[in-house]
Copies of this chain bind each other. A is one copy, B any other.
């Protein structure tokens, strides 16, 4: 069984490797602190005989040789970078639980048939370049040399290529892309980042899908005017129009699709924004997430229907533009079954669920059979210094990875 002290020791060691920051821990990609984090993980990998390498993108691999070096590989891990003032689990937990599972294999004395690679990706968070999933997209091959010059640091303005060189890498993507390799499975363990498992008192989430994300940009046009001279019934208040739309779509999503879809108005700006002026314009965004194309379409339909209703009721005009639209990702059914069987074998409680956040797994699923394991996040907190996954749940997660690797190792490569 997994040793939770060992996982916690690594979690806490990495938490202490941080840039100076107001609260929590922060280790953005391509910084000296990120380098120190990578070196810590590398030493821990090597202590158990894993052969480590860093690719030209800065992704860290630890290879546990298998009895059949040419058999399709198992790869498991997550990202090693963090947002600002972060907690210590997001991403990191997935690398360290995969490492723990590798240590369990070594300690079992029964090596895998297949090679197992523990992977720590770089640049998963959009913190430094405003672009997320950098390491995984360079491995997957959607991105390459072009992006090294196209992406620039939000703070220092340096290109990704310049940043890589300053970090000590050669400044190219040679050997990074692994498209075409024979890979049996990629499995990512991650903190749920939501309250579902904790609220249900469950230990493991078997991820079926990663949500589709749609962003809608909405502008409500009203008529600025004096707040005291225009009776309520004849005003054209852009802010009231926006509020009605937000309430209506929130209610609809909650009543129809609670747990299945989310709609979030994260941004809302009111113009001219004077206490004593009826607002003439309100800009807002709606972030829609669901794994179901039908739910998504129904939500967009509802927004458009409600838009017309609010236009009439509030005497405003509403522009609706669809921005980013990302397809949902269905994870590999066979791997889901392996994870579920592992939970059953171990006697751990579990449920199938969807991921409302994007992950490296979303990228790797384009080229490899991919699965995801969720462990509970206390209070659903994430991107927050108080982010926490109980040690015993981390250990259960590592146990599930171990059993899943064993099961996948035993499968034929037909």
Q: Is A277 touching B270 in the complex (CB atoms < 8 A)?
A: no
> Which residues of B are found within 8 Å of A259, using beta-carbon distances?
231-233
Copies, count: 2
Q: How far is the CA of A198 from the CA of B92 in the complex (A)?
A: 67
A109 in the interface, Cβ–Cβ < 8 Å? Answer: no
Nearest opposing residue in chain B for A272, CB measure: B266
Q: Is the CB of A243 within 8 A of B247?
A: yes
Interface size class of A (residues with CB under 8 A): 35 or more
Contact partners of A264 in chain B: CB under 8 A: 227, 237, 276-278
User: Which B-chain residue is minimally distant from A252 (CB atoms)?
Assistant: B232
Question: Is A254 part of the binding interface, using a Cβ–Cβ cutoff of 8 Å?
Answer: yes
Distance in angstroms from A225 CB to nearest chain B CB is 6
Asked if A2 is at the interface (CB within 8 A of a chain B CB), the reply is no
Report the minimal beta-carbon distance from A19 to chain B, rounded to whole angstroms.
20
Chain B's nearest CB lies how many Å from the CB of A325? 13
A219 close to chain B: CB less than 8 A: no
Contact in complex: A232, B258 (CB < 8 Å): yes
Interface residues of A (CB under 8 A from B): 192-196, 199, 211, 213, 215, 224-234, 237, 239-240, 242-244, 246-247, 250, 253-254, 257-259, 261-270, 273-279, 282, 285, 287, 289, 355-358, 380-384
A-B contact pairs, 28 of them (CB 8 A): A193-B229, A196-B231, A224-B383, A225-B380, A225-B382, A225-B383, A227-B266, A227-B287, A228-B262, A229-B380, A229-B382, A230-B356, A232-B253, A240-B265, A242-B243, A243-B243, A243-B244, A243-B246, A264-B276, A264-B277, A264-B278, A266-B270, A266-B278, A267-B274, A268-B279, A269-B269, A269-B270, A275-B287
